[in-house]
Structure 1
Amino acid sequence: MGKTISCSVLLALISRFYFPFGTALDTITASKSIKDPDVIISQSGVFRLGFFSFANSSNRYVGILYNQIPIQTVVWVANKNKPLKDFSGILKISDDGNLVVLNGKAEILWLSKVKNLVPNATTAQLLDSGNLVLNNGVNSLWESFQDPSNAFLETMKISTDVKKSRKVEIKSWKSPDDPSDGNFSLSLEHFNIPESAIWNNNQLYYRSGPWNGQSFIGVMNMNTVYLDGFYLVSDDKQQTYYFTYQYSNNSWSLHYELDSQGNLIGRQWDAGKGDWINWYAVLQTDCNVYGKCGPFGMCDPTKRPICSCLKGFKPRNREEWSRGNWSSGCFRTTLLQCQRDNNNGSGAGQGDDGFLKLKMMKVPAFPDRSSLINGDCKDQCLKNCSCVAYAYDDGIGCMFWGGDLIDVQKFSTRGVDLYIRLPSSELDKGKSNTVIVITTVIAGILVITISALFLWCRMAKQRGNKMSFRRNKIWRQIEDVEENLIGAKLQQLPLFNFEELATATDNFHHTKKLGQGGFGPVYRGTLDDGKEIAVKRLSKASGQGLEEFMNEVVVISKLQHRNLVKLFGCCVEGEEKMLVYEYMPNKSLDSFLFDPAKQDVLNWRKRFNIIEGISRGLLYLHRDSRLKIIHRDLKASNILLDQELNPKISDFGTARIFRVNENQANTKRVIGTYGYMSPEYAMQGQFSERSDVFSFGVLLLEIVSGRRNTSFYNNQYALSLLGYAWKLWNKGNIWGLVDKVILEFELDSKNEKEIRRCIHVGLLCSRICQR
C-alpha cells in the first residue's frame, strides 16, 4: 500500500464542514456526488472515501482510506485498473442507480454493475467497518466488501459458492504504488475440506491446510478461534462457505494485506511509533510456498537444506536437488507389498505394509475425508492399496491420501501426526532389542568391516567381469550388424538393465501402455532421476527381430535433430530387447489427425507447422546429416508429437544407411506400409530418397485432408487418397480435398495460399517418384 504524509487529513477535516447541514457526511445520493478533491467520512470518522494519488505517481484514484492515521493507507480502490489523469473525476449515483466513477469527458472508469435498479432510489453509505454499501433503503444491493482490493478488513467475508461458481477474493496490487490487479489472489477453496489459498495467477502458491472447526491446521501459529478471532461458516448442502475475523478490542487499527509478492501480512497501527507494524506473515519461510519440495518431499525450515525425501523415498533428479531445485520431488524406492501382490496377480491385500509416524506435520494437499474414528483410519487405509498415507484430527476425522503427497512440512509446534505407508523392509525393526543390537555391533565391528570389505572387493571384481563380458557381447552383436552397414563403432549409447526398466514402467503395467506397433508394445516410464521415457519392447510375436532392433540402435543413435525422436539407450538381456526413447506426451500424429473428436485441435497453423517439421527432419536424413538415411516407413503413426505438438520422426527399424556415393539400393524383402510405398519400391524392391519423398507426399495430403490414405479402398471416386487428389486437381476443385474443420473456420488468404502450395507439393512428390 502506498505511504505518504500529505494534506489528506486536512482535506478530510475541511470536508466535515463542506456539506450543508442536515445531510449525512457518510452518504452519496443521487443529488450529492463527490468531486475531486471532496470526500465523505464514516460516522465515527474511522474511514474516508474520496480521491487520492500515490507519492510517486500523478494518477488519481477513488478509494477508501484510514481517516485518523497520518500515513496514507488505502484499503480499497474503485478505478484501480483505470486511473484518472487529472483532477476532473467524479463519484456519483448514475441515472440507473449504480455507483459510478467518471472522468471529465463523462467516460465510465468504474461501475458497481448492479442490474434492475430503480432510478433515484439508491444511496451509497461508507460504514465504520470500511465497507461502502449501495442500498435502496431496505436491502444492500452491492458492497465494496464483495469486490475487495488487496486489504482484508474485519467482518469482510472471503467466500465461495461452489454451485454458482462465485468467489469473493482478495487481489494483490502490481506494486505498492500501482493498485492495478497483480498476480496473486487470496480465496477460500473447497478441496474436499475448506482451506484458504493464495494463487499465483492460476498456480497454487500457498494453502492453509484444512479447517477443523477452530483453526486452519496447516497454519502453525494459528491457535484458536477465541484468540485469533477467525471463524469459518460452511453450508455443505448449499455448498457455500466463507471465513472472516472480528476482534473483541474494537480500538485496534488492524487489517491484513496481500502484498505484490503474494505474502499475506498482518498490519497493526502503533501510535507510539507513528507507523504500521507487520506482526504476522503467512510466508514466514520458504517452506510455506506450496510444493516447495515436490511430491513425497518434506520441508523443514530448521534444516539445511530445507528439503528432504520422506523415509522410503529418494530424489527423482539428484543433480537438480544438489542445486537446490527440489520441485521434481522424490519417488518410492521399494514397491508396497500390496502393489507387488497386484502385479503378481494375487489380488490386493494387506501384505506386510505398515506405517511410519511423523509427528507435528502440516498434512499434504487434497485429502479425502471420512467421519471414521481415529482407531479405524489405519485399517481403512490398509484395505485400499492406493492409500499411501492417513492422518486424524478431532475436528475433521480421518484424512486419506491416494496420490502424490505434496506440500508436506515439519512443524516445531502443533501440527498433526501423519502416517506414511511403507513396506516392512523400510520400517524400523527391533527397537525393543536396541541394546543387544548396539552391543553386537560394537563387539563385532572390526570383524564385520574387514569381512564386508573383502567380500565387496571380490564381488565387485566378479560383477565387473560379468558386466564387462555382457556389455562386450551386446556391443559385438551391435557392431557385427553395424560394420555390415557402415563399418563404424558404437560405444556411447547407454545400456539399461531389465530391472531398471521394469521399475520405471511399474513392471510394464497395462496402465502404462502407450500403444502397440509391429515391433511390439510401447510403455511410459519414469527413471530414478525423474526423466520420463518411452520403452519400446520387442514382442516375441513380432515379425521384426534382432536385425531390425540393432538397425534402429545403430541408425538413430547417430542422429541429432529437433524433428527426430531421441534415443536414450537400449536393453538386451536374454530374450528381452528394448529401446528407450524420450517420452512424447501427445503420442502420434494419427491419434489427432484421424480422430473426429480431436481433429479440431489441429488447426491449419499447427498442421502447417507439423508439415514443415517433418520436411526439415527428412531433409536432415537425406542431405544434412553426415550419414544419408532412407527411412522406408514414413507415415502418420511414425510421427510423434511433443507437448507443443511439434513433430518428430520415429521408428527407424527399417531404415537404411547409404554410403556417400550410394543413391539407390535393392532389397528382396520389402518392408513398410502399403499406401505409403513408392511404386518402384513396392513392385521392384528399389528404394532411394524418392521412396521417402513419395511417402511424404501421401502424408502431406493426409494432413491437409484429415483422411487416411487407406480409407479410399473400394471407393467409387478413387482407389487411394492420392488418386482422389489427382482427380480433384485435374478438375480444378482442390478445395474438395481440404478438411472441413479448416474450410469452415480458417480459410483466409494466407492459409489458402499455403494449403494450395501443400497440395501441389504433395502431388509433385508422387509424380517425381513415378518418373
Structure 2
Amino acid sequence: MDARLSPLSLTYYARCLAKGNYTVKLHFAEIIFRDNRSFFSVGRRIFDVYIQEELVLKDFDIEKEAQGVDKAVVRNFTAVVKNKILEIRFYWAGKGTKDVPKRGTYGPLISAISIKSDFDPPDDRKKKILITVAAVLSVSSLIVLILGILWWKGCLGGRTSREQELRGLDLQTGFFTYRQIKAATDNFDAANKIGEGGFGSVYKGILLDGTAIAVKKLSSRSKQGNREFVTEIGMISALQHPNLVKLYGCCIEGNQLFLVYEYMENNSLARALFGSDEHRLTFDWPMRQKICVGIARGMAFMHEESTLKIVHRDIKSTNVLLDRDLNPKISDFGLAKLDEEENTHISTRVAGTIGYMAPEYALWGYLTYKADVYSFGIVALEIVAGMNNMKYRPNENYFCLLDWALVLQQRGNLMELVDPKLGSEFNKEEAIRMIKVALLCTNPSPALRPKMSAVVSMLEGRTAVHENGMDPSIYGDELRLSALKDQYGQILQLPMSPNETDSLIHSSNATWIGSSTSAQDL
C-alpha cells in the first residue's frame, strides 16, 4: 500500500477468513518532515494507535522512534479477531505541532500494514465436502417438504378423516404443532400430569419462551371428542374475562387433539378445598369470599354481559381453577350451550355432573341459564362448608350437603354449616349471607332463582338477600326426593365398561351424559 497521511485520523478494516489470533505489522517512516535547516525541519508528529479498539501506541513519534527521517520503523502486535473483522485506527490526539510546515501535515502517517494469521487457514477440500453435504441435505429436505405438503393437502392419502374434518373448520384460535406440545410436556412425562377428566388427561408444559401452559389431551377413544373439542374452542375463544380460563390455542395432528390453556398454579378449587392433605390449601374467610364472588362474576359475564350468551352446564368445584394468587377461573366448556334470547329454554340430552345438576334439567332435560345458577349454589355451599356436596352425609337421613343445609335453615342454625377449620376467625355476616344466597340459587323452582348479576350484588352486600321459604327436602316433595335418591344410587352402582369409566369416575367428579326423555332414562 502507499503511505497515507491524515490531518486527524485514519481507520482500516480488514475482513478475516476466520476467528482467531492475527499478527499485525505496522510500518512507519517520517517522509514529510526534514532534518535540514529548512522550515520543514521544525515540525513534530505525535499520534495514538488503536487495534481492535485497544490503545497499543500512545503519543507515538515516528522521527523519534526511528531516530531520524526517511528511516523505517516496524511495530508488531497480536490482535484477537472474534467477528472476522480487524479494526486498526490511527488518531491524532492534539499533540505536536499544528501548522508546521503547513496545515494538515501533522496528523497520523502510516507507510504500510501487513496482517498474518497465527493459525493454519481452513482446508478448501473440507469446505467443498461440507458444501456438497449441505447441498444434498437441502435437496433432501426440499423433497420431504414437497411430499409433506402433498400429504397435508390429501394428494397422497393416508390422513385420517378426523383430522380432515377438524382442519376444515374455521377454528378461531392459535395452532401448535404436536412436536411443540411433546417438547413442552417432556414427552407427556407422568411427572407433568396434573389432572384427569372424562375426555382425557391434562399436563403441565413449558414453551420455549418460558411460558407455562396446561395441555388438555383429548382421548381418541371418546365418541364425543370432536364435538367437545370444537365446542370448547368456540366458546372460550368468544369469552374473554378475568374469571374465565384463557385459551392459547390447539393442536390437531392425526388422531391427536390438544387444547392449550394458561397454566393455573393451584389446580382446581375442589383439590384445594377437599383434596388429599398434600394438596389441600388453607383458606381464610376473605379468600373464600373472594373466590365465590369471582366465580359469580365470571358466570354473570357468560349469562348476561358477553356477546354470546352461554350456559356452561357443568359448573362444579373441579371446573373452577385457581391461579398463583388464588383468583378463580371457570374452565372446561366442552358441554356448554348457546342460550339464544328468543328461546325460553333449550331441550337437550342431559349432560353434567351428579350432585350439581338442577332438578328440572336432570329429570326433564329443561335447560336454561338458571341450571348454572343452581350449580353455583352448590359450589358456594362447598366453599362455606369446605365439604364435597355428594360426599357429605352427617347421618343416614341426609344424602348430600345441600340436604343438610336445608335442614339447618329450618332449624335456624345456619352457622353450623360453616367450615370448622375457620374457627371463630371469619366474618359471620358474610358467611350467613353466602349460605342464604347459595340456598336461594338452589331453589327447586328455576323461576325463583336469581340472575348471576343479582348474586354478585348480594354477595358484595350491595343488595339484600331475598329469602324464600323451602321444604327441607331438596326438590319440594318426598316423591321426587325419593326418585332422585334412587337414581343417584342406581347410576353409581351400574357396572361400567372401561370406556364408560373414563366418563363416569365417581359421584361429584363424574361427568354424566344421558337422555332427556324421562326420569327413567337416567
TM over 0.5: yes
Written as runs of structure 1 = structure 2, the 5 A alignment for 1:42-61 is none
Matched, 1:627 2:308: yes
Alignment correspondent of 1:676? 356
Find the residue that maps to 1:601 and give its secondary structure.
coil
For 1:648, the equivalent position in structure 2 comes to 329
Q: 1:659 aligns with which of 336, 340, 345?
A: 340
Displacement of 1:467 in angstroms is 4.6
Structure 1 CA distance, aligned partners of 2:82 and 2:288?
51
Structure-2 residue corresponding to 1:573: 253
CA drift of 1:676 comes to: 0.3
Question: Is 1:602 aligned to residue 283 of structure 2?
Answer: yes
In the superposition, relative to structure 1, how do residues 716 and 626 fare at CA in structure 2: closer, same or farther (>3 Å)? same
| 1:691-706 equivalent positions in 2, closer than 5 A | 691-706=371-386
How far off is 1:445 after superposition? 6.4
CA distance in 2, matches of 1:468, 1:303: 47
Query: How many residue pairs get matched?
Result: 327
Deviation at 1:512, TM superposition (A): 0.9
Contact conserved, 2:160 with 2:254, CA < 8 A, in 1?
Answer: no
Aligned to 2:207: 527
Structure 2 residues not aligned, in runs of 5+: 1-80, 84-118, 448-522
> C-alpha deviations, 1:372-405, integer Å up to 9, x for none?
xxxxxxxxxxxxxxxxxxxxxxxxxxxxxxxxxx
- Cα distance between partner residues in 1 of 2:224 and 2:120: 61
1:754 maps to: 430
The Cα shift of 1:686 comes to: 1.5
CA distance in 2, matches of 1:636, 1:561: 19
Greater Cα offset, 627-636 or 576-585: 576-585
Gaps of 5+ in 1: 1-301, 305-433, 481-488
Partner of 1:618: 299
Between the aligned partners of 1:696 and 1:475, the Cα distance in structure 2 is: 38
Query: Alignment partner of 1:648: what SS?
Result: strand
1:763 aligns with 2:448: no
Q: Which residue of 2 aligns with 1:636?
A: 317
Residue pair 2:371, 2:446 contacting (<8 A) in 1 also: no
The yes-or-no answer on 1:736 pairing with 2:425 is no
- Matched position secondary structure for 1:701: helix
Aligned identity (percent) is 40
Structure 1: distance between partners of 2:167 and 2:360:
31
**Aligned residue in 1 for 2:183:** 503
User: What is the distance in 2 between the residues matched to 1:593 and 1:666?
Assistant: 34
What do the CA deviations read for 1:722-766 (whole angstroms, capped 9, x no partner)? 121111112110001111122x1413xxx1121111111101111
Structure with more relative contact order (C-alpha pairs < 8 Å, separation 6 or more): 2
Distance 1:588 1:546 in 2: 25
Matches within 5 A, 1:67-466: 438-444=123-129, 457=142, 459-466=144-151
Distance 2:403 2:305 in 1: 32
1:539 shift after superposition: 2.6
Query: Could you tell me how far apart the structure 1 residues matched to 2:354 and 2:323 are?
Result: 27
Q: CA deviation at 1:767?
A: 1.1
Deviations 1:283-303 (A, max 9, x none): xxxxxxxxxxxxxxxxxxx99
Amino acid at match of 1:641: L
Conserved 8 A contact 1:533-1:583: yes
Mean alpha-carbon deviation: is it higher for 436-445 or for 507-516?
436-445
Q: In structure 1, give the amino acid aligned to 2:348.
A: T
2:237 equivalent to 1:557: yes
Q: Cα–Cα, structure 1 residues 760 and 546, in superposed 2: closer, same or farther, change >3 Å?
A: same
Match of 1:716 in 2: 396
Which structure has the highest helix share of the two?
Answer: 2
Change (3 A) 1:614 1:529: same
Deviations 1:213-268 (A, max 9, x none): xxxxxxxxxxxxxxxxxxxxxxxxxxxxxxxxxxxxxxxxxxxxxxxxxxxxxxxx
Q: Secondary structure at the match of 1:710?
A: helix
Task: Report deviation, 1:605.
Answer: 0.6
Secondary structure of residue in 2 paired with 1:767 = coil
Cα RMSD of the aligned pairs, angstroms, is 3.2
Relative to 1, partners in 2 of residues 1:435 and 1:547: Cα closer, same or farther, differing over 3 Å? farther
Which residue number corresponds to residue 30 of structure 1?
Answer: none
The change in CA–CA distance for 1:493 and 1:472 in structure 2 (over 3 A counts) is farther
Letter in 1 for 2:303: H
The match for 2:55 is none
Tell me if 1:477 matches 2:166: yes
SS in 2 for 1:524: strand
State how far apart, in whole Å, the 1-side matches of 2:166 and 2:185 are. Answer: 26
State how far apart, in whole Å, the 2-side matches of 1:479 and 1:671 are: 27
Alignment CA distance shift 1:592-1:448 (3 Å): closer
CA distance in 2 between partners of 1:537 and 1:595 (Å): 23
Within 1, Cα distance between the matches of 2:137 and 2:293? 60
Structure 1 letter corresponding to 2:415 = W
Residue 217 (structure 2) aligns with:
537
Q: CA deviation at 1:444?
A: 5.0
Post-superposition offset of 1:693:
0.3
- Offset at residue 636 of structure 1 (A): 0.5
Q: Deviations over 1:450-477 (max 9, x none)?
A: 6566555555444445456689985753
Distance in 2, matches of 1:540 and 1:720, equals: 35
Computing the radius of gyration from Cα coordinates, the structure with the larger value is 2
Q: Corresponding residue for 1:299?
A: none
**1 CA distance for matches of 2:352 and 2:281?**
29
Higher strand share: 1
In 1, the alpha carbon distance for the partners of 2:437 and 2:82 equals: 63
Contact persistence 1:505–1:523 (CA under 8 A): yes
Shift, 1:567, TM fit? 1.3
Contact 2:267 2:322 in 1 (8 A): yes
Alpha-carbon distance, 1:613 to partner? 0.8
Verify the 8 A CA contact 1:679 1:770 in the aligned structure 2. no
* Structure 1 residues 648 and 525: alpha-carbon distance in aligned structure 2, compared to 1, 3 A threshold: same
Partner secondary structure for residue 671 of structure 1: strand
What residue identity is the alignment partner of 2:203? Y
- The separation in 2 between residues aligned to 1:720 and 1:626, in whole angstroms, is 36
User: How far apart, CA to CA, are the structure 2 residues paired with 1:735 and 1:542?
Assistant: 44
TM-score by length of 1: 0.39
1:669-709 Cα offsets, whole Å, 9 max, x none, are: x1111110001110111111011000000110110011111
**Partners of 2:219 and 2:225 within 8 A in 1:** no
Contact 1:611 1:700 in 2 (8 A): yes
Q: CA deviation at 1:435?
A: 9.8
1:707 and 2:387 aligned: yes
Q: Is the 8 A contact 2:359 2:444 kept in 1?
A: no
SS in 2 for 1:553: helix
Structure 1: which amino acid aligns with 2:324?
Answer: Q
Superposed displacement of residue 537, structure 1: 1.2
Asked if the contact 2:311/2:336 (under 8 Å) is kept, the reply is yes
The 8 Å contact of residues 518 and 544 in structure 1, kept in 2 or not, is answered as: no
Q: Deviation per CA, 1:568-621, whole angstroms, max 9, x where unpaired?
A: 111222222221111111110011111474666111111111001100110111
